Homo-oligomer: A and B are copies of this chain.
Amino acid sequence: MPGWESYLKEHRAEYVDQLMDFVRIPSISALSEHFVDVRRAAQWAADRLKAAGVNNARVIPTGEHALAYGEWLGAPGKPTFLLYGHLDVQPVDPLDLWTTPPFEPVIRDGRMYGRGASDDKSGVLLTIIAVEALLKTAGTLPVNVKFVLEGQEEVGSLGLADFVVANHDLLKCDAIINADGLQWSENQPALLVGLRGVCAADIGVLNASADLHSGLYGGAIANPLHALAELMASFHSPDGRIAVEGFYDDVVELSPEDKKRIDSIPFDESEYKARLGVDTLFGEPGYSTLERVGVRPTCEINGMWGGFQGEGMKTVLPKEAHAKITCRLVPNQEPAKILDLLEAHVKKHKPQGVKVAFHPGANQARPYLVPTDQPINKVTRDVLVEVYGKEPFFAWEGGSVPICDVFLRELGAYSISFGFILPDEQFHAPDEFFRLSSFERGQVAFCKLLERL
């Protein structure tokens, strides 16, 4: 048993406590009243890096948020790896669907419940723990490492992107190890080969200068809610295809080889439906579910609202209605071009009698692919085989990690995904949790990865 392994065992309970402390910080990067908490989370991480023996650990402001940076460069001539994770979290509403408060983590049945327990505070802490275990037992690392633990991944990593552009030297590395990643299941590893990109927009439908009585004025002017329904319905055909003109133009169809890779992954439709609690799957015709979530683009409404949402009846004809959308993009869709197409669609399909406003969101990421022949992919695969006793699936993940594309363009380095989140852990939803078994496995796997790099 290597020294780090006993070290991890000795500190096991302590590390769980540390993750709980970290989760207690409500570092919601989307809400301005929590910006101060994102900063607190960055300070927490910088302090933790220092305690782990990492050098130059500090908080660096990035726009309205901040990141925690640290480095250990004591292996001259050896490659340098940038360890990446994010310490900000998603908003928590609807709050009433949480079994226990999101920022008061509790452990039930071997799972830690709390916002960020899974996505991605566990990942951040895993990278620090692994470096600490090696440094405290061997006194050294086999490679050089730099930490970039950012505070605005959930709002699109804009500040970090600017920081990367301005700090090529500081961040120079051979590859990025991204701790914000998933495995396939508790006993099946996955090797990330692709992430979808993302772009976002808000749509507003406006009419009268005030809310009106729907009895007195209903029928005389356009109702923004009707118009919004009509407009949002126009984004898809009823069979599930996206109906925005030109949306699919740049989409690269799967190569036969990649199609074979996806099709070879066993998919249990009954289990999948039961897990999500749905009666039926539904999506773009002509593609399997794994293709739909991995290699096909989407255009999703994330929120829609207007008028009266309370108890009982209120006969109001509201003055406005709103929707928030995000598109998931695949190679070779460009976020800026897709936003242009969405805006053109909104203009073309503007319902009669209302004004429509289109606001492109700041959050953008290009789709991202890791070539499977990268040497670091081989190392990652070997570690996963050793830890799980199984060959990993090639995984196209439907989510987006915007900074991967920035790292590639700016630093010339690929990011590999090395995270232990599992797909059922309710991240971005109420009752997010992380498995303590994954937390232990991740500590071991990160140490092994650092040894083999």
Residue positions of A touching B, CB distance < 8 A: 29-32, 90-91, 93-94, 97, 154-156, 196, 198, 200, 207-223, 225-226, 228-236, 238-240, 272, 276-284, 289, 292-293, 296-298, 300-319, 321-324, 326, 328, 351-355, 361, 363, 397-400, 423, 426-431
Q: Do A214 and B302 form a contact, CB below 8 Å, given A221-B283, A233-B229?
A: yes
Closest chain B CB from A97 CB (angstroms): 7
A313 and B156 contacting across the interface, CB-CB below 8 Å: yes
How many copies make up the complex? 2
Does A307 contact B313, Cβ atoms closer than 8 Å?
A: no
A277: contacting residue among B208, B220, B238, B328, CB under 8 A: B208
Residues in B with CB closer than 8 Å to A353 are 240, 278, 280-282
What are 6 inter-chain pairs, A to B, with CB distance below 8 A?
Answer: A30-B310, A217-B398, A220-B281, A221-B283, A239-B352, A315-B428
Instruction: State the CA gap A215–B180 with chains docked (Å).
Output: 14
Find the B residue at minimum CB distance from A426.
B210
Task: Report the separation of the CA atoms of residues A308 and B30 in the bound assembly, to the nearest whole angstrom.
Answer: 12
In the complex, which residue of chain B has the Cβ closest to the Cβ of A428? B213
> Among A156, A222, A284, A300, which residue has the most Cβ atoms of chain B within 10 A?
A300
Q: Are A310 and B213 in contact (CB under 8 A)?
A: no
Q: Are A213 and B307 in contact (CB under 8 A)?
A: no
A397 touches B305 (CB 8 A): no
Query: How long is the Cα–Cα vector from A314 to B156 in the complex, in angstroms?
Result: 11
Are the CB atoms of B233 and A399 closer together than 8 Å?
no
Cα–Cα distance between A278 and B429 once the two chains are bound (Å): 39
List the B side residues contacting A303 at CB < 8 Å: 225, 306-310, 314, 316, 318
